[in-house]
């Protein structure tokens, strides 16, 4: 059984505190991390906090989908939202305190609903990211269907 | 969207299942940002087939972007700039005792180019250890210091 895997990413300074991502051979347009602009309408890419939230959110959504797929069920649709709460620690530095996750899958089939109920009990164990982060921050997960 | 309430900030993002048969590809919702299509691809394993980063790569980009911006912020506080900067992150994922995959560590390598001698002196101050596991500049990083309790993050500088 494979015990370890590794992935690599890179960034290069674009301007001030904006970086161009190096994602190897992945098929995507230019992707930037923008910590320069404060206003969202000026940003040309997510900031690191948004990337963390997208990572946790997509990992949990994929883990829930994976749990359904293991019994041959297919979702009609799925939406997910994440809200990151950042507070100052005792020394005054900003820290990620909580990530609130809300996943809304569209499930009509009663058999699939039964499987979804079972998945709610254990699907988070499949998520590489949230379960690794939980020692450092609260990850609050809610599934609405 | 960011909402700041005195000692608290909130950031919101979303995803939506893409019309892809595999059901493991999501389109990012980044509000009104000027971002072209952003996909998170947990379906394909080969980079040449992937439409976007997977969650592990997203996490690595978050840590990498945060540490790089924190270092530059530390220089900027004394009005210094880097001439250039490149950074790399390697994420090691290993099975835990129950057999589930977990992020074990993230190795970060930051390579700034700094020609000005006074900026170099400031850079050395920014790198000064203030705690067992963190340099002065790392304290500015919102993401890494929160991630670190759960995941080992090693930071190396070449300049």
Residue B61 and residue B27 share a domain:
no
B131, pLDDT greater than 80? no
pTM for this model (two decimals): 0.92
Q: What pLDDT score was predicted for residue B81?
A: 92
Same domain? B139 vs B121: yes
* pLDDT of A143 above 90: no
Q: Are residues B82 and B149 in the same domain?
A: yes
Q: What is the CATH number of the domain that holds B85?
A: 3.30.300.20
Looking at residue B4, its pLDDT comes to 61
Q: Which domain holds residue B16?
A: 2-49
Chain A, chain B: beta-carbon pairs less than 8 Å apart: 300
One domain, residues B15 and B64: no
| Global ipTM | 0.91
Of A43, A48, A78, the CB nearest to B62: A48
Segment A2-55, tens digit of pLDDT: 778 899 999 999 988 999 999 999 988 899 999 999 888 999 999 999 999 999
Q: Which residue of A has its CA nearest to B112?
A: A13
Are B90 and B25 found together in one domain?
A: no
Closest residue, chain A, to B62 (C-alpha): A48
Average pLDDT over residues B73-94: 94
Band the pLDDT of B3: cuts 50, 70, 90.
low
CA distance B139 to chain A (A): 7
Question: B152 falls in which pLDDT band (50, 70, 90)?
Answer: confident
| Domain positions in chain A | 1-45, 48-143
Mean per-residue pLDDT over chain B, rounded: 89
Tens of pLDDT, residue by residue over A92-101, are 888 898 999 9
Instruction: For the domain covering A48-143, report its CATH number.
Output: 3.30.300.20
Residues B105-126 have a mean pLDDT of 94
- How many angstroms from the chain centroid is the CA of residue A79? 12
């Amino acid at each position: 059984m494979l015990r370890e895997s590794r992935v690599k990413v890179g960034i290069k300074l674009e301007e001030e505190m904006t970086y161009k991502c190096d994602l190897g051979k992945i098929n995507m347009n230019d992707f930037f991390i923008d910590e320069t602009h404060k206003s969202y309408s000026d940003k040309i890419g997510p900031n690191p906090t948004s990337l963390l939230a997208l990572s946790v959110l997509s990992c949990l959504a994929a883990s829930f989908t994976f749990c359904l797929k293991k019994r041959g069920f297919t979702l009609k649709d799925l939406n997910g939202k994440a809200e990151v709460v950042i507070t100052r620690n005792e020394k005054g530095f900003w820290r990620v305190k909580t990530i609130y996750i809300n996943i809304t899958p569209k499930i009509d089939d009663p058999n699939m609903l039964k499987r979804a109920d079972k998945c709610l009990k254990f699907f988070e164990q499949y998520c590489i990211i949230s379960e690794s982060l939980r020692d450092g921050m609260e990850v609050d997960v809610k599934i609405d269907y | 969207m960011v909402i700041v309430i005195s000692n608290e900030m909130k950031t919101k993002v979303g995803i939506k299942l893409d019309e892809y048969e595999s059901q493991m590809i999501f389109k990012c919702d980044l509000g009104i940002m000027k971002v072209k299509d952003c996909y998170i691809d947990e379906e394909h394993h080969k980079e040449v087939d992937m439409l976007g980063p997977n969650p592990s790569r997203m996490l690595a980009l978050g840590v990498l972007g945060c540490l790089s911006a924190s270092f530059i912020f530390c220089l900027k506080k004394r009005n210094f700039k880097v001439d250039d900067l490149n950074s790399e992150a390697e994420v090691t994922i290993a099975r835990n005792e129950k057999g589930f995959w977990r992020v074990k560590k993230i190795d970060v390598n930051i390579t700034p180019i700094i020609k000005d001698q006074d900026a170099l002196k400031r850079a050395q101050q920014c790198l000064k250890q203030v705690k067992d596991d963190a340099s002065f500049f790392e304290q500015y990083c919102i993401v890494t210091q929160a991630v670190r309790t759960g995941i080992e993050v090693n930071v190396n500088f070449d300049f």
